[in-house]
Amino acid sequence: MRCNPLLDNPGLPAFSEIEPEHAEPALAEMLEANRRRLDEILANGRPSWDTLVAPHEEMQHRLKRVWSPVAHLNAVLNSEALRRAYNACLPLLTEYATELHQNEALFRAYDLLARTATGLDTAQNSVIRNALRDFRLAGVDLPPDKKVRFKAVRRELAALQARFEENVLDAGNAWTRHATDKGLLAGLPEDLLARSRDAALAEGFHGWLLRLDQPTLQDVLMYAHDRSLRHDFYEAWVTRASDAGPHAGRWDNSTVMARILELRHEAGRLLGFANFAEYALATRMAGSVDEVLRFLQMLVEHGVPLAQAEMRELEEYAGGPVEAWDVSYYAEQLRRDRHAVSDEELRPYFPAPRVLAGLFEVARRLYGIEIAIDDDIDTWHADAAFYRVLDRDGHERGGFYVDLYTRPKKRGGAWMDECVVRKNLGNGIDLPVAYLVCNFSPPGRKSPALLSHAEVVMLFHEFGHTLHHLLTRIDYPSVAGVNGVPWDAVEMPSQFMENFAWRREVLPLISGHHVTGEPLPDYLFERLLGARGFHAGLRMVRQLEFALFDFRAHVEAAPASGAHLAALLAEVRGQVAPIPTPGFYRVAHSFSHVFAGGYAAGYYSYKWAEVLAADAFAAFEEEGIFNPQTAERFLSCILEQGGARDVLEGFVAFRGRAPSAAALLKSYGIPAGS
């Protein structure tokens, strides 16, 4: 009988051997094994850490190791067969998770242990406390009929969220622009033209074939002289998976979104919360719906006047009204004229291999770790590579995969995810392993991939998440790395890391002209630094639009209908967005962070965590960017703690005081107290 690589491989995933047909049998077998193991755990009598929590953590850890490669491949190497297998697994996972968290005997055992155990450390107490919270949030206290309903809601939600993401992926893959007249493409960067020629040849076309991926979209909106081309790309992007645009209705997420919100609202109400937002805040730093709304309103009051002034200036520069598909084009020209710098002038200095090497050097100087590629590790694509991480003494701390470039059938955006979580429960250590994924333009035929500085910042962001996962010293998976960290704090290490990409001490490490090797010249660095705050207000209100729409949608979810959501989005944009809204604007239909990912009622987390990140980085500015004592304090108080320690407590231990928004407002050019 053929082995199943998802089950019969104790090491890293054997990606080249995993087929779609392996997924469901492996998952079903692991779930059955976990159920049997749970029966054994509950038969052990009086619960203790060793007889209850440790084996429970162990069995959940094994399940994650089986499922992680399947979920990852579905995101980076999607196919019809894999999609079917993935969707067949979702109900099994949802059923198991709800069944586990509604298990009254297991809940009572944890509850008894919480009341009677002595001598446990901080991390162990956090594991138990979080488990009890999660039991209650999964409906362990509900009467039988409501438990059944809650389970059904969770099952339907899992399926709908997967469908939402599939619709976005399919809609994006379906749209291309074929051009035979090079004049239509005037202004576009040469590397994009070269890729588009190759894409056309691969499809048997003459001319150029432009795909609807994020790097291409950004280049078109920023550089294409042809206004109709900018319009068409913008419309195709903001109408993906909707009832408008070039594929109107074909992959329409309207009813999917409404149903997701309806079900989330019902889940919250079943558990006694007023709405899903209130339910979600039970695991967050923010204490209430009102606190989040006040926080966002504070940023609105600071950010909107700044954004409005920036928009008026842009229209004056353009000589008239500016539509949404014109903003990036004129903004890039204004930035170039004002600061004498453009992304295309900077790209040659940021070849991806040099940026990666410099990023790893930054981590070495901060935390004493060495990062080296391991070409012997199996990966899922030729673009992907594996890196091992060693500490100062040469001991392995973990590893991570890197997959940087966009391609068809790969989910858009950038993210870090867990392959293996750190575990040390007395039967051997599992070291943490991460996936670091981006969607940058791939290398050309004769040159490496060249990154914009914004893409460099994005890579630093995802590497911040990766370090948070890898450098944990916590041995219990449910609170190791990013696990157990409140969702509105989990972005803090990533946003903190972004700041290093702007520093004079770091730029020579991450830059080098791809032909000459010359580091970024001082004059370009000064211009880049001068442009850092360019259109900071417009960037802020863009995030506030998403955050307010998401949060209010989950507070005001009844009735959840397409018309209600469209009206809500229009209302939010009217409050914060100075850029005109075209009638076809349907950006919520591809808002995967919220409707398919983990940011439901939590997109505000980016701004919430940015306050923590800016204030934390201010300590490095005060004490030295590579000050070893400062870095060691950040490592021990934040990165190594995972979810084992209260985030605010850890921040105060690092900073010596509670967080302040002053550093964040300063980064946007807004004086403190204004």
3-state secondary structure 448-507: CCECCHHHHHHHHHHHHHHHHHHCCCCCCHHHCCCCCCCCCCCCHHHHHHHHHHHCCCCH
**Residue pointed to by tokens 């703690």:** 641
> Degrees (nearest 5) of the Cα angle 269, 128, 635?
105
Judge whether 489 and 657 are in contact, CB under 8 Å: no
415-420/433-440 β-pairing: antiparallel
Judge whether 250 and 171 are in contact, CB under 8 Å: yes
Active-site residue, selected from the candidate residues 165, 166, 462, 640:
462
Q: Which amino acid is at 668?
A: Y
Burial class (CB in 10 A: 0-12, 13-18, 19+), 74: buried
**Residue pointed to by tokens 């670091």:** 436
Tokens linked to 163: 């469908």
**Helix, strand, or coil here: 669?**
coil
Q: Rounded to the nearest 10 degrees, what angle do helices 536-555 and 562-576 cross at?
A: 150
Q: CA 27 to CA 6: how far, in whole Å?
A: 9
Is 632 marked active-site? no
Q: CA 480 to CA 487: how far, in whole Å?
A: 14
Q: Name which of 415, 408, 532 is nearest 469 in CA terms.
A: 415
Residue 595 backbone phi and psi in degrees, to 5: -90, -15
Long-range pairs of 86-91 with CB within 8 A, sequence gap ≥ 24: 86/23, 86/162, 87/159, 87/162, 88/23, 88/24, 89/23, 89/24, 89/27, 90/158, 90/159, 90/162, 91/155, 91/158, 91/159
Residues 6+ apart with CB under 8 A from 654: 616, 619, 633, 634, 637, 638
**Residue pointed to by tokens 């998440």:** 465
Q: CA 280 to CA 273: how far, in whole Å?
A: 10
Tokens linked to 468: 């948070």
Q: CA 350 to CA 360: how far, in whole Å?
A: 15
Residues 6+ apart with CB under 8 A from 70: 6, 18, 23, 26, 27, 85, 86, 89
HSE, side-chain direction, 13 A CA sphere, residue 317: 19
Active site residues: 462
